[in-house]
Every structure is written in C-alpha cells, then in structure tokens.
Amino acid sequence: MSETKNFTLAVVPGDGIGPEVTTEALKVLDAVAAQHGVTFERTEYDLGAKRWHATGETLPDAELEEIRKHDAILLGAVGDPSVPSGVLERGLLLKLRFTLDHYVNLRPSKIYPSVGSPLANPGEVDFVVVREGTEGPYVGNGGALRVGTPAEIATEVSVNTAYGVERVVRDAFARAQARPRKKLTLVHKNNVLVHAGHLWKRTVDKVAEEFPEITVDYLHVDAATIFLVTDPARFDVIVTDNLFGDIITDLAAAISGGIGLAASGNINPDRTAPSMFEPVHGSAPDIAGQQKADPTAAILSAALLLEHLGLTEAARAIEDAVTADIEERTGVARSTAEIGDAIAKRAAG
C-alpha cells in the first residue's frame, strides 16, 4: 500500500463570488485526493474587502510569510466596489504575484465542442497564453503630481528586463516544445513601444535558436485581437507581457466558452515560492452570494494546481470530469454548488 502524501494549501477565497467558487474547487480537490493517495491540509486566509474595511489591511507581510510556507495557493477572486479601485488588486493580488515571483501566468484556452462560442465558426481552439507576471506596466512604478488640479500629470512606467523577459520566454518555448504543433507567437507592440518591444523581440529571436523545431511568429497586440476572433485556431503558445496578456486572455476566454471556464496558474517555475491558482474571472459582486457563479474556472484552476504539484493523474481526473460535465450542459441553470457536486462526483468516479 502506498503512503498518503500531504500537501499544504493556503486558501484565499477573497471577494464577491470568490468564496462560492473556491468552496466548489476545494470540494472537487477533496473528491480526487483519496484515490490519488494525497491529502490537502488547508489554511484559509481572510483577505479582501471585508478585512480591509475592518482593519485597513490588505496583506500584512507576516501573513504573506505564512502563506509562503505552503505548497500552493488557491485564490477565488479579489476586488470590491466598496474599496477604492486598485487597493485590493495591487495590495493583495499583485503583491502575491510579485512577491512570490509568479513570473509565468499560465492561461489555457480551449473550445469544448458542446459549449457555444460567440464566434460563428471558431474552429479547433486549443492554445495557451504565457503571460509575464512580474514586470511590464504592472510594476506599480507610476506616480502623480498636482492631483486634482488642472496641472495634474500621472505616469505609469512599464519596466522590462532581460532577466525577466528571458525567463518567461524560455518557459514558453519549453511549453511549445512539449505540444504537438510546436508553435510560438510573441504578442507585443514593438512598432510603438520600441524599447520594451525590441527587448522582447530580440529575446525571442535569441532563445528560438535553441529550439529549432519551434515555428515562431510575431503579432502586434492589436492584430492579435483580430486573429482571436477571425482565426483563433492559428494559435498554439502565445507569450506576451503582463498587460497585453491580461487583455488577450479575457478575450480568449470570451471566444472559447466564456469567462466561466477560464482557469489560470500564477506559476513560479523555479519553485522558490508557492504557485497560486485562480480563475481568470473577477469577483463579479453583482451576482455574489446568489449561487449563480459558474465554479468551473475555479475547479479547472485546481486541476492546474494538481498538475503543478506533479499529481498529473488527479489533474486529468478533474479535467475529464469537467469535460464530461460541460458536454452534458443543457442550458438549464444549476447553482454553483450543484455544478461543483456534479463535477466532484464524476471526478471521484
């Protein structure tokens, strides 16, 4: 008999629909754990809007250091209209991504045949976006002068380093190498953002020499949005900066079955800190607490978590359960818990 292996999870349910979808993701994790000889010991962290209102805290450093001790992090969603825009996003979500060096923000897109796409003829869509997670316009190096006066000036600085770009580009090439189509598309805007754009382009050209089997192309971000609606099947692996990645992965989710299905991993490939898994969708405060949210994206994020921990079979069990569930979706609304129950049952299969 094999031993049971225990993994520690830090759980951040967060705001809005975050807690509801996280409950279902954990339910499904538990459902597959037993057969795959693992257990998950969870610690929940009360972070988000409520905490901020009560204490003014977003993510105290001591708590971040506790979270760091876990094997992985599962996050629901962050952000609430009652909190000034940016406070929770920067102070909690981005603080986690940056401090834990989640430089690969992995976002797969797949069209399930049974799920309606808003596109008339989407074709066979199965690509993954490798979004840089620790640089670009997300670094928080902006500022403002004379705020609220007619002479106000506000800046945002995009910071890009050879160190930061090369490591994510290498990760993307390795992923492309492991996929059947072996294709990598760099998305940037190097005809306008020439300094950052040329660094990205030169880095891709350099690393490409080590991956002769990979077909490489380049698209400006504006052109990429066109292809995402006219020919999304052309993409295999996309590598791009933090902001462009944010934009195109929401679009990618929208064309491939909707934001209710889009999972993501904030990955630290060097494993110097735990990686974090979360749905691409936001906290959707308008439907929070009503059991209306689709937990599938959170559940698929849990599958990415398992894969990252090396539990490939358990990950596959969840993915297969989700695929089977999606194939039977009839359009009749189910509650968040009902969807979670159905997928958990199948995954435990």
| Closest by CA position to 129, among listed 258, 262, 21 | 262
Contacts of 315 (CB under 8 A, 6+ apart): 303, 304, 306, 307
x/- map, 26-65, a second copy, by CB under 8 A: ----------------------------------------
The bridge status of strand 38-44 relative to strand 126-132 is unpaired
| Closest by CA position to 197, among listed 220, 223, 230, 167 | 220
Contact 221, 189 (CB under 8 A): yes
Please, what is the minimum distance in Å from the beta carbon of residue 212 to a second copy?
Answer: 22
Contact partner, 197, from ligand IPM, a second copy, none, Cβ < 5-8 Å per class:
a second copy
Q: Which of 63, 89, 320, 341 binds ligand IPM (CB under 6 A)?
A: 89
Which element (helix H / strand E) includes 256?
Answer: none
Task: Tell me the residue type at 309.
Answer: L
Q: Which of 54, 56, 163, 272 binds a second copy (CB under 8 A)?
A: 163
Annotated ligand binding at 285? The verdict is yes
Rounded CA separation 29/144 (Å): 45
Please, what is the minimum distance in Å from the beta carbon of residue 86 to ligand IPM?
Answer: 8
x/- map, 110-149, a second copy, by CB under 8 A: ------xxxxxx---------------xx---xxx--xxx
Q: Which of 198, 215, 271, 327 binds a second copy (CB under 8 A)?
A: 198
Dihedral of CA atoms 158, 164, 165, 171 in degrees, nearest 10, equals -140
User: Quick check: helix, strand or coil at residue 197?
Assistant: helix
| Closest by CA position to 274, among listed 91, 43, 38 | 43
Length of the chain: 349
Q: Which of 24, 171, 246, 325 binds ligand IPM (CB under 6 A)?
A: 246
Annotated ligand binding at 61? The verdict is no
| Closest by CA position to 296, among listed 330, 339, 264, 332 | 339
Asked about 222 being catalytic, the answer comes back as yes
Annotated ligand binding at 289? The verdict is yes
Q: How far is CA 167 from the centre of its chain?
A: 18
Nearest residue (CB) to ligand IPM, 93 versus 111: 93
x/- map, 139-178, ligand IPM, by CB under 6 A: ----------------------------------------
According to the binding rule CB under 8 A, does residue 153 interact with a second copy? yes
Contact partner, 86, from ligand IPM, a second copy, none, Cβ < 5-8 Å per class:
a second copy
Asked about 171 being catalytic, the answer comes back as no
Query: Exposed e or buried b for every residue in 238-277, given b needs 16+ CB within 10 A?
Result: bbbbbbbbbebbeebbbbbbbbbbbbbbbbbbeeebbbbb
Rounded CA separation 28/300 (Å): 10
Contact partner, 223, from ligand IPM, a second copy, none, Cβ < 5-8 Å per class:
a second copy
Nearest residue (CB) to a second copy, 38 versus 252: 252
Binding site for a second copy (CB under 8 A): 79, 85-86, 89-90, 94, 116-121, 137-138, 142-144, 147-163, 166, 189-199, 201-202, 221-223, 225-226, 228-230, 243, 246-251, 253-255, 258-259, 282
Residues catalogued as catalytic: 138, 189, 222, 246, 250
